[in-house]
């Protein structure tokens, strides 16, 4: 009888097995992270707020590319929405005419531009990883995609110039505009990705970036 009582007391004094049913990673709209950025609970907030917040985040990344001073936001909060929009926009404008009446338009097809952008970004990212870069695959693709913004702007300007009768002066303006977009895109990419590479391997990492934006800029300049 005493042994049964001892067993009963042991059960009552054993550690509690109660668990916390809170959802891991759940955040409230009033909480603030250590970096000062408010945390959001996307499970409870309206869809409209979620969409607007994501659009604002994409716009902020575009701003950081055009004014590449703050380096962490594009790497920390990466996404592929901006690169997808830029790639679709550029492929739509650059695609050549498939009609038989306009055989002089030798522009690339939509799928070709898509493949050049995404496969090119993947190859540049793979090269960065093989050189010992401390950046994830999707972070690098995100940076390269967003850094197409200056090239896309130069494409818009060149498209407007093409509306007029072409002369040597207008071709020179297109050349200067495309060169500026290429240089700015390469510089912005180096600002964001250069710190992730070992110091003695930075030239090896910059060369594929240079070649990537050079090919896309050449498509912009040669588009007629």
The token duo for 28 is 């409230």
Place of tokens 């913004």: 149
pLDDT exceeds cutoff 50 at 103? no
Q: Which residues contact 192 (CB under 8 A, 6 or more apart)?
A: 68, 71, 74, 75, 143, 147
Q: How far is CA 85 from CA 81, 114, 224, in A?
A: 6, 11, 22
* Model confidence pTM above 0.75: no
Range 193-218 burial, b when 16+ CB lie within 10 A, else e? bbebbeeeebeebbebbbebbeebbe
Torsion angle (degrees, nearest 10) of CA 139, 145, 147, 149? -150
Q: What is the mean pLDDT of residues 116-142?
A: 87
- DSSP H helical ranges for the chain: 2-12, 47-66, 73-76, 81-94, 110-130, 137-146, 149-161, 168-193, 202-222
Q: What is the pLDDT of residues 181-222, one digit of tens each?
A: 999 999 988 888 877 777 788 888 888 899 999 999 999 998
What is the percent of the chain with per-residue pLDDT over 70, rounded to a whole number? Answer: 72
What gap in Å lies between CA 7 and CA 133, rounded to an integer?
A: 60
> Across all residues in the chain, what is the average pLDDT?
77
Q: How far is CA 212 from CA 38, 45, 75, 126, 182, in A?
A: 37, 40, 20, 13, 10
**CA-wise closest residue to 124 among 11, 64, 49, 212:** 212
Q: What's the pLDDT score for residue 113?
A: 87
Q: How confident is the model at residue 32 (pLDDT cuts 50, 70, 90)?
A: very low
Q: What's the pLDDT score for residue 224?
A: 66
């Amino acid at each position: 009888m005493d042994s049964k009582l001892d067993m009963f007391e042991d059960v009552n004094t054993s550690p509690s097995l109660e668990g916390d049913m809170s959802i891991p990673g759940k955040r409230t709209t009033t909480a603030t992270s250590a970096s000062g950025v408010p945390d959001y609970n996307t499970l409870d907030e309206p869809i409209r707020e979620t969409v607007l917040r994501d659009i604002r985040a994409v716009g902020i990344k575009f701003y950081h590319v055009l004014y590449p001073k703050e380096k962490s936001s594009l790497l920390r909060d990466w996404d592929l929405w901006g690169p997808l929009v830029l790639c679709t926009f550029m492929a739509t404008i650059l695609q050549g005419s498939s009609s038989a009446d306009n055989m002089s338009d030798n522009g690339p097809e939509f799928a070709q531009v898509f493949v050049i952008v995404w496969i090119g970004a993947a190859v540049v990212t793979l090269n960065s990883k093989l050189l010992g870069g401390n950046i994830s695959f999707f972070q690098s693709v995100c940076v390269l995609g967003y850094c197409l913004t200056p090239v896309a702007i130069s494409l818009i300007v060149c498209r407007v110039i093409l509306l007029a009768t072409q002369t040597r002066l207008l071709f020179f303006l297109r050349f200067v505009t495309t060169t500026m977009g290429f240089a700015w895109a390469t510089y912005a990419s180096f600002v964001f990705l250069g710190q992730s590479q070992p110091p003695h391997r930075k030239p090896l990492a910059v060369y594929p970036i240079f070649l990537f934006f050079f090919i896309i800029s050449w498509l912009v300049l040669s588009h007629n």
